[in-house]
Chains A and B, each alone.
Chain A
Amino acid sequence: KQEVTQIPAALSVPEGENLVLNCSFTDSAIYNLQWFRQDPGKGLTSLLLIQSSQREQTSGRLNASLDKSSGRSTLYIAASQPGDSATYLCAVEYGNKLVFGAGTILRVKS
C-alpha cells in the first residue's frame, strides 16, 4: 500500500529559526515528489517538485531533498517568517496519481 507520513504533525517556532519538515513514503517506485503549502480557506500551492532522478531542489529560502532508497524527503525552511505559517503537505506521484501525507501545521511566532 502506498502511504505517505509526515512528521511532526505540528510545529511552532520563533521567527528567524531554521526548520526541517520530514516526509516518508512506503513505495519507492515514485515518479516525483512535491511539497505543497495550504493556507486556511485556500487551495494548495506547489512549492517544490523533485523528479525521481534528482536529489534536491531549491527555491528562495526553501530546499527540498529526496532519498528514494530510504523513502524520505525533507523540506528545509531557512530564516522562517510569520508569513510562512501554513500547513505543508508532501505528495508522492505514482503514475498519474498523487498520494498526500496528512501535513505539518507550521506556526512561526513573531
Chain B
Amino acid sequence: EAGVAQSPRYKIIEKRQSVAFWCNPISGHATLYWYQQILGQGPKLLIQFQNNGVVDDSQLPKDRFSAERLKGVDSTLKIQPAKLEDSAVYLCASSLGGRALDTQYFGPGTRLTVL
C-alpha cells in the first residue's frame, strides 16, 4: 500500500513570498489532516478535511493560510504572504475515517524555511 505523498520535500523562500504544498493521501482515506511542526515542538493541527469538507480549521491562521481538497482526494496548503515564524515542517496525514481509533498515517513532510 502506497503511503501519504507530499511535495516538495524542501522549500526556501523569502518573507512576504507565497508558497504551496501538495499532499496525496492513501487511496480510499476519507480524512486528511495538515499539521505544522515547529522545530522543538510537537505537530499542531492546522486543518482537517472529511472528504472535501472542512471539519476543523480552528488553528489555521486564515489571514495568510488557506487549504483546499478538491474532489475529496489531493489537497494543497498555501501560505500568502509568508512570515519568518512560518518556518516549520508541514505534515500531511490521512485516515480511513475521522473517528477516534482511526489510525493516522503521516507523510514525510515539507520543510519550509522563510528567510
Chain A interfacial positions (CB closer than 8 Å to B): 4, 31-32, 41-46, 49, 51, 89, 91, 93, 95-98, 100-103
Residue from A31, A43, A93, A100 with most neighbouring chain B CB atoms (10 Å): A43
Contact between chains at B40 and A46 (CB < 8 Å): no
Number of chain B residues close to chain A: CB under 8 A = 24
A102 to B37, CA, bound (A): 9
Give how many A-B residue pairs fall within 8 Å (CB-CB): 53
Complex interface: chain B residues within 8 A of A101 (CB):
42
Residue from B3, B43, B48, B109 with most neighbouring chain A CB atoms (10 Å): B43
Contact between chains at B42 and A46 (CB < 8 Å): no
Complex interface: chain B residues within 8 A of A4 (CB):
42
Complex interface: chain B residues within 8 A of A41 (CB):
108-109
What 1/0 mask marks residues of chain B from 101 to 114 whose CB sits below 8 Å from any chain A CB? 10111111100000
Contact partner of B103 among A31, A46, A95, CB < 8 A?
A46
Contact between chains at B56 and A97 (CB < 8 Å): yes
A96 to B48, CA, bound (A): 9
Contact between chains at A49 and B101 (CB < 8 Å): yes
Chain B interfacial positions (CB closer than 8 Å to A): 3-4, 40-45, 48, 55-56, 91, 93, 98-101, 103-109
Complex interface: chain B residues within 8 A of A43 (CB):
3-4, 91, 93, 105-109
Given contacts A43-B106, A44-B91, contact A93 B100 (CB under 8 A): yes
Q: Which residue of B lies closest to A41 (CB)?
A: B108
- Shortest CB-to-CB span from B39 to chain A, Å, is 10
Complex interface: chain A residues within 8 A of B42 (CB):
4, 89, 91, 100-103
Shortest beta-carbon contacts, A-B, top 6? A100-B42, A43-B106, A31-B100, A44-B106, A43-B108, A102-B42
A97 to B101, CA, bound (A): 11
Q: Which residue of A lies closest to B6 (CB)?
A: A43
Contact between chains at B109 and A100 (CB < 8 Å): no
